[in-house]
Structure 1
């Protein structure tokens, strides 16, 4: 089985990548398998800049093809926040519950039709001595007024998908993977993966 290194230590993301990559014949390694991996500061101002920064740093460190993702929640009524700061919206310690609380607090009193949002994902594929390529995906939805479901991670419990009549946290991994921002970006990447791994 071929191997792919995902530049993340987030177990939720690692699981999603595993679900999406194993049918393609790839086993997934993450930074959890590399305790000495450098901590890459996400200093970019866009999802693409951060994804490239992570992928290129780790690819250079281990001389192996590396995929990094930078993703986040964009809430229209909040002027696009939390955006690239999604993971640390409520503070540097990256607390999912505190992040959700902050979004819900800021949206208090905002009517349902104005609670539109989308998840965005940019995947960067860095290979030693080759140009980095990126893929993007988005998932449209609305922010609920309370948490629903206990699956997924991050903002999933408050992200309502109209077509499915449930939140991302109420879906199975496979259901989520089929419609999520990360799932869509990975489908685009999967089409070109054989040419990238040559």
Structure 2
């Protein structure tokens, strides 16, 4: 069985990636599964891509095995693209997403008609509205997320590459 380490401690991301790569018989582990809880990577890039590369290279140097990294976040046009690359640590590492989400909604009061709903998501999923399905990311089933999300599109490309290069 093939194995890939995901350079993330976010269990929501790990779950999505496992669901997408399971059909390829790839065993997905988080960096914490392999290196324990003391993994600390300084994400000092200026873009999502730079931070993903920083994470992948850092973990790969430690484990000498294939590593997949993802760096994503929420960019709100009305807030000058905030929270952006700081999405996870915006308002502090220990600040709950309930508080972060409410802060965004409060800042957008009167500009857009947001609502919080759903239980299937994590992070900003409860306030990320996807018009084609008329629901938030948190309201989507795993199958819907794996059909439409940016992460799913990237994983489909990886899946296709791995299938073609067995």
TM-score surpassing 0.5? yes
SS of residue in 2 equivalent to 1:14: helix
Per the TM alignment, residue 95 of structure 1 is displaced from its structure 2 partner at its CA by 2.4
Per the TM alignment, residue 36 of structure 1 is displaced from its structure 2 partner at its CA by 6.0
* Contact 2:32 2:39 (C-alpha < 8 Å) held by counterparts: no
Cα distance in 2 for residues equivalent to 1:32 and 1:172: 26
- Count of aligned pairs between the two proteins: 165
The alignment yields a C-alpha RMSD, in angstroms, of 1.8
Q: Which residue does 1:61 correspond to in 2? A: 62
Correspondence for 1:165 among 127, 134, 156:
134
Cα distance in 1 for residues equivalent to 2:162 and 2:94: 34
* Contact 2:31 2:39 (C-alpha < 8 Å) held by counterparts: no
Q: Cα deviation per residue 1:71-103 (whole Å; 9 max; x = unaligned)?
A: 011111111111101111221325221221221
Q: Which residue does 1:26 correspond to in 2? A: 26
Per the TM alignment, residue 31 of structure 1 is displaced from its structure 2 partner at its CA by 1.8
Q: Which residue does 2:89 correspond to in 1? A: 88
Runs of 4+ in 1 over 6 A off after TM superposition: none
More strand by share: 1
Q: TM-score, normalised by structure 1?
A: 0.77
Q: Which residue does 1:132 correspond to in 2? A: none
* Contact 2:20 2:155 (C-alpha < 8 Å) held by counterparts: yes
Cα distance in 1 for residues equivalent to 2:109 and 2:37: 43
SS of residue in 1 equivalent to 2:87: helix
More helix by share: 2
Q: TM-score, normalised by structure 2?
A: 0.91
Per the TM alignment, residue 193 of structure 1 is displaced from its structure 2 partner at its CA by 2.8
The gaps in structure 1 that reach 5 residues or longer are 113-143
